[in-house]
Amino acid sequence: MRNTFHLKTLTVAVAVLSITSIASAAGLDRSGQDVTAFLQDGTYAEAVYTYIDADVTGNDVSGNKIGDIAESYDFFRYGVKADVNETFSVGILYDEPFGAAADYSGDNNFVDQNTASPRNGEGTNVEVRTESITAIVGAKFGENKNFQVYGGPVAQRVQADVKLRGAAYSAANGYTTHISTDQEYGYIAGVAYSKPEIALKAALTYRSEIKHTADAAEIYPFVDSGLIPDSAISALGLSSSRSSSIDITTPESVNFDFQTGINPTTLATAKVRWVPWSDFAIVPSLYNGVSQLSYGPDGLPLVSYDEDQWVVELGLAKRLAPALAVSGTVGWDSGAGNPVTSLGPTEGYYSAGLGAKYNVTENWAISAGGKYLWLGDADGQVPTGDTVANFENNDGFVLGVKVSYQAL
């Protein structure tokens, strides 16, 4: 017999997309670091595929058109959770929490137009990827086991490549850095409350920052241009290439997940996420050292943000048939400031999404859905703080599919 959508287990069909960001929306946020797989009842497993494509275009300060710089990307998320007994639960989650993918081309100030340069025709490019595995142990308590505390270790890998090209970056035209893969550890901690009679669940989850120390290989052609005095090169230990280490701290975050039944076939949800991107910076040593010539002993970071990110999403799910439910969401992402780095030039977004969930068997279900994103207008700036481009009237979409198994 096909399983019906009991109120206590009714889930939003686009949970796969619930707080998915895009690399250029706010900082480097991507997956939203969702933990709801661990909060499901009984034995639960899911595999999620997400595809994101945005159209980010604009004009540089000279009026030249900048074609779409946002590269489409996809990623997977997995989650497994089981109850050891009535008190203890265990789970493992995999996701790709942070990233960036931008590529400039065409006739504009973000592409090297110097015909005498070996980099002629090369455009500015950035790619950042991370992977994360989280192990969670939870313990329920209270008279009816309504409360739960949970936590565990997080293993995270990060790697990045950045190329700065074109007149927009002035002396930094031609700068390149490769940050090798590094793995470090953090932790997750949270508390949840549930009231099954009305399908109420609320969870507050904290993830720690994770400090990476990775190998970085930099190339900075300007050092050999003859425009820097030899005394300054010697005093700061500069060269056109350098292999050294770099410290990158991925930010802490707080997620709040809430759901409650409205009636026996309808569920309301709310999600809130906070990430302090204003504390984040990428500061390669050679880039920073050269910038000290003009900007003092602290120099400049390669990437930084002015504001923290807030994400809010509201949703409704409705059971239409014993094995079928549909849902809709609306959302808002604050962005991480404006002007913002030219490597991700949007100021957050508004979103609207639709999805459906179908129970194929008593235990197996498939969900699919999509979101449309109205991306916020932004001024693109380089690390010096100069505004070098304007990006307006941009949009994007998110598609996702989830296969899940649940045994109560």
Q: Where are the domains of the chain?
A: 7-268+276-309+320-329+336-372+395-407
**Residues facing residue 135 across a β-bridge:** 92
Q: Tell me the whole-structure pTM to 2 decimals.
A: 0.92
- Tell me the C-alpha distance between 52 and 184, whole Å: 27
- Tell me the C-alpha distance between 297 and 371, whole Å: 45
Q: What is the mean pLDDT of residues 202-231?
A: 96
Query: In which element (H, E) is residue 295 found?
Result: helix 285-295
91 HSE (CA, 13 A, CB side): 29
Query: In which element (H, E) is residue 287 found?
Result: helix 285-295
Q: Is the pLDDT of residue 130 over 70?
A: yes
Q: What is the mean pLDDT of residues 87-98?
A: 96
pLDDT value at residue 4: 45
Three-state DSSP class for 346? coil
Q: Is the pLDDT of residue 19 over 50?
A: no
Three-state DSSP class for 192? strand
Q: Is the pLDDT of residue 163 over 50?
A: yes
Residue type, 146: N
Q: Which two tokens stand for residue 214?
A: 């990775």
> What does the pLDDT look like over 205-216, one tens digit per residue?
999 999 999 999
The fold for domain 7-268+276-309+320-329+336-372+395-407 equals Porin (2.40.160)
- Tell me the C-alpha distance between 408 and 390, whole Å: 52
Nearest Cα neighbor of 101 from 56, 70, 58, 55 is: 70
pLDDT value at residue 134: 98
Q: Is the pLDDT of residue 373 over 70?
A: yes
